[in-house]
Copies of this chain bind each other. A is one copy, B any other.
Amino acid sequence: MKYSFKDDYSEGCHPHILKKLIETNFEQTANANYGQDVFTKEAKASIHKKLNHPKAEIHLVSGGTQANLVVISSLLKPYEAVISAESGHIEVHETGAIEATGHKVLAIPTEDGKLSPNLIQPTLDAHKDEHQVLPRMVYISNATELGTIYSQQELHELSSFCKEKGLLLFMDGARLGTALTSSSNNLDLELIAKYMDVFYIGGTKNGALLGEAIVICNPELQANFRFALKQKGALLAKGRLLGIQFLELFTDDLFFELGKYANRQAEVLSKAIEDKGFEFLAPTESNQVFPILPKTLIQKLQEKYEFHIWQAYNETHDVIRLVTSWATPLDKVQEFINDLED
């Protein structure tokens, strides 16, 4: 059996979660299903402590594509569009989920997966009248699909720009856990809640079985969101399953610990690869590492490990993606590093 560095969702969940599921299994949550149970309430309270934004509203859903499609479709009018990096998850890896709800995604090429006012402005300039869609939202990912992260300065500028242009700002935080615990990070949930109109905190890729916590910071966008959730099949009858998981993740900062652990494994990997003289497609800032390796070495590594070949680089080299997680054992990282030697 090969060890896999393919992604951060190949194991079950952190044992604390399983323990809590067992403890609470026979408690009835009647009158309080579909996400109104006591566990979900406690989970929200725990998250609120980190947000310091009492007006924010929190909703738990089962996955990232679901979070993206419910948020975007509930906030845009039919002719309004969402701006995304060309590498954005909604643009490339959600099977047209956003378009299926009726909205165009306006994709912008980027170097590192991050959007900025300078990159967005030309798209605004190109949309002048009713013969084109009306750009109304900016979608960003943090960490991005290239593992890079936003700094406070970058979010501040983006947020000011969006406010000035009448654009809503939405962050896909499927990997927010590793973004916020990156050694380069200077953001926290409180700042994010201040800058964003909406964002979500990813559980699936940071220790939960499933679950993303959508935070609607802007009170004007909060009305009737549960209707939107139900309509898209996003209200779980046993909402407790999501509540219990976020409750555990936000008890004693488990969420941040798991992110930090994943990042540390990535750093070790990245450092070792760098030390061998290899280069990278993007700097290693969170739990995704994109080294450029000789195809011969890649073939050898594939005998023992699973990972994505991300893209072709040149005739002799490809870029691969290595992902670490809360569940990656240090000895597997070490083993991989040893196997880098020819």
Q: Is A74's CB under 8 angstroms from B77's CB?
A: yes
A110 at the interface (CB under 8 A from B): no
Task: Please tell me which one of the listed residues B9, B26, B131, B327 contacts residue A12 in the complex, with CB atoms under 8 A apart.
Answer: B26
A226-240 Cβ-contact flags toward B at 8 Å (1 or 0): 111111111111101
A28 at the interface (CB under 8 A from B): yes
A149 to chain B, nearest CB (A): 21
Q: Is A100's CB under 8 angstroms from B100's CB?
A: no
**Bound-state Cα–Cα, A27 to B327, Å:** 10
Q: Is B231's CB under 8 angstroms from A79's CB?
A: yes
Q: Is B28's CB under 8 angstroms from A130's CB?
A: no
Please report whether the interface of chain A is mostly helix, strand, loop or mixed according to DSSP.
Answer: loop
A62 at the interface (CB under 8 A from B): yes
A31 at the interface (CB under 8 A from B): yes
A103 at the interface (CB under 8 A from B): yes
A333 contacts across to B, CB distance below 8 A: none
Q: Pick from A89-97, A112-120, A182-190, A263-271 the stretch touching chain B.
A: A89-97
A44 at the interface (CB under 8 A from B): no
Q: Is B22's CB under 8 angstroms from A327's CB?
A: no
Q: Which residue of B lies closest to A35 (CB)?
A: B130
Q: Is A94's CB under 8 angstroms from B230's CB?
A: yes
Interface residues of A in 119-177 (CB under 8 A from B): 130-134
A48 at the interface (CB under 8 A from B): no
A63-106 Cβ-contact flags toward B at 8 Å (1 or 0): 11111111001100111010000000000111111011111110
A320 at the interface (CB under 8 A from B): no
A204 at the interface (CB under 8 A from B): yes
Q: Is B130's CB under 8 angstroms from A235's CB?
A: yes
A1 contacts across to B, CB distance below 8 A: 28
**Bound-state Cα–Cα, A224 to B135, Å:** 12
Q: Is A230's CB under 8 angstroms from B130's CB?
A: yes
A327 contacts across to B, CB distance below 8 A: 26
* 24 residue pairs A–B, Cβ–Cβ below 8 Å: A10-B29, A10-B33, A15-B25, A18-B21, A18-B22, A26-B327, A62-B233, A78-B231, A79-B96, A79-B224, A93-B131, A94-B131, A95-B230, A95-B231, A97-B231, A97-B232, A100-B102, A100-B103, A101-B102, A102-B102, A130-B229, A130-B230, A134-B224, A209-B241
Q: Is A227's CB under 8 angstroms from B28's CB?
A: no
A15 contacts across to B, CB distance below 8 A: 25
Q: Is A236's CB under 8 angstroms from B79's CB?
A: no
**Bound-state Cα–Cα, A341 to B306, Å:** 66
Task: Please tell me which one of the listed residues B11, B74, B79 contacts residue A26 in the complex, with CB atoms under 8 A apart.
Answer: B11
A63 contacts across to B, CB distance below 8 A: 233, 235-237
**Bound-state Cα–Cα, A236 to B11, Å:** 13
A42 contacts across to B, CB distance below 8 A: none
A67 contacts across to B, CB distance below 8 A: 233
A4 at the interface (CB under 8 A from B): yes
A43 at the interface (CB under 8 A from B): no
